[in-house]
Amino acid sequence: MARAREGSMSVLVLRALVLGASLRGVEPARLAEQAGIPAELVSPAILGDPDGRVLAGHVVRLWEHLPLALGDEAFGLTLASLAAGAPLSVGWWVVWSSPTLGDGLAQAIRYQRLLHDQARSELRWTTNAGVYRHQVGALPERAPRHAIEFGFASFARFARRATGKEIVPSRVAFQHAAPRDLSQHRAVFGQNVEFDRDVDELAYDLQTLALPLLTADASLREVVESHARSLLEKFPDQQQLDARLRTAICETLRQGKLSLEQVALRLGVPARTLQRRLKSEGTTFAERVDEVRRELAERYLRDRRLGVQEVAFLLGFSDVSAFHRAFVRWTGTTPSRYRESVASGQGF
């Protein structure tokens, strides 16, 4: 499952957060220090590149820090209002130039990965509505509540501005709990706002989605969509890459020659490229190997036909004691006790 902290994000999201902090009296350098992110991240050189990318983990840290530091329970909604006149990303230009609101919503999802390359959102059509379901990470790795509210509020404001009509969603659902004061939420989304739901969704009825956009421009859309497609091609599907990496690690484990260089060779990429990609996701080769080994260890130990020594060998450990130490570190229990717990039906 993709996680909100993994991968990279558009620098424009970071720029919006820095803007929101600055307008509330928190200068960029102090913001970086207080939030515990690199100072160079908020430098003009980084913030000035509209096509730039930054580690998602740093941006998530700001989403978590700023609402608490500013004492703003509706920070995402506040920021959406402050950033309403900010320069648009190339993805938003595609949305902006679309013929109808419904087409604009579809394009927003199509190019959402330009904002966060772990995004897995979708648009579902029912008999009376179009439903945008937001998905970047699952609980507890879901995106921070203020980030989700910012995204939903940004589109709701765009919808009114681009159609010239005071429209509101037919339904908005959030997974997080309701704040104490709902006045700002209802001002942006209308009365049909729900909390503590299983999904994060934003819905508009079909009649509203059929409204033409005042900003529609076929010529502009052709130009910006071409640029958006070229940018999107730089972000290969993360799930496919993760699956290939897992397979390469499994195959290399079986051969007993586990190293970053061997795995990179199986993937057909330079070792340094693989190392840089893992670093951009906030992880390391050793951590990925640990994840795969733990999953395989638990699967193998459920098979009573395999002895602990055989499991250790299959996982590429030099001896049983090394496997034993690793398994205790992963699970807090020994391989034997884990096997006994599974056999008794208690599980872990």
The pLDDT value given to residue 45 = 86
For residue 237, name the pLDDT band (cuts at 50, 70, 90): low
Q: Name which of 5-14, 82-91, 231-240, 320-329 the model is least confident about.
A: 231-240
Q: Which of 196, 110, 108, 217 is nearest to 157 (CA)?
A: 108
pLDDT, tens digit (0-9, with 9 covering 90-100), for 288-314: 999 999 989 998 898 888 999 999 988
Residue 101 CB neighbour total at 10 angstroms: 24
Specify whether the CB–CB gap between 55 and 6 falls below 8 A: no
Residues 113-134: what's their mean pLDDT? 88
Asked whether residue 243 carries a pLDDT value surpassing 60, the answer given is: yes
The pLDDT value given to residue 250 = 87
Number of H helices, E strands in the chain: 18, 7
* Mean pLDDT, all residues of the chain: 87
Q: Which of 131, 138, 139 is nearest to 169 (CA)?
A: 131
The Cα 274–Cα 278 span in angstroms is: 6
Residue 100 has what DSSP assignment?
B
For residue 236, name the pLDDT band (cuts at 50, 70, 90): low
Asked whether residue 149 carries a pLDDT value surpassing 80, the answer given is: yes
Q: Name which of 133-142, 213-222, 265-274, 305-314 the model is least confident about.
A: 133-142
Task: Pick left, alpha or beta for residue 137 (phi over 0 → left; psi -120 to 50 → alpha; otherwise beta).
Answer: beta
Both tokens of 141, joined, read: 């790795």
Percent of the chain with pLDDT over 90: 51
For residue 323, name the pLDDT band (cuts at 50, 70, 90): very high
Asked whether residue 111 carries a pLDDT value surpassing 80, the answer given is: yes
For residue 140, name the pLDDT band (cuts at 50, 70, 90): low
Domains of the chain are 8-232 (3.90.1520), 238-344 (1.10.10.60)
The pLDDT value given to residue 40 = 87
Say if residue 140 is preceded by a cis peptide, omega within 30 of 0.
yes
Residue 116 has what DSSP assignment?
B
Specify whether the CB–CB gap between 7 and 116 falls below 8 A: yes
Residue 211 has what DSSP assignment?
P
The Cα 177–Cα 172 span in angstroms is: 13
Residues 231-251: what's their mean pLDDT? 73
Report, in this order, helix, strand and coil percent for the chain, each rounded to 5. Answer: 55, 10, 35
The Cα 152–Cα 141 span in angstroms is: 19
The separation between CA 139 and the C-alpha centre of its own chain, rounded to angstroms, equals 12
Percent of the chain with pLDDT over 70: 93
Angle among Cα 94, 76, 141 to the nearest 5 degrees reads: 90
Q: SS3 for 131?
A: strand
The pLDDT value given to residue 304 = 85
pLDDT, tens digit (0-9, with 9 covering 90-100), for 73-85: 999 999 999 888 7
The pLDDT value given to residue 1 = 40
The pLDDT value given to residue 101 = 96
Report which residue type is found at 339: R
Residues 316-333: what's their mean pLDDT? 90
Asked whether residue 348 carries a pLDDT value surpassing 60, the answer given is: no
Q: SS3 for 112?
A: helix
Residues 322-345: what's their mean pLDDT? 87
Residues 163-185: what's their mean pLDDT? 95
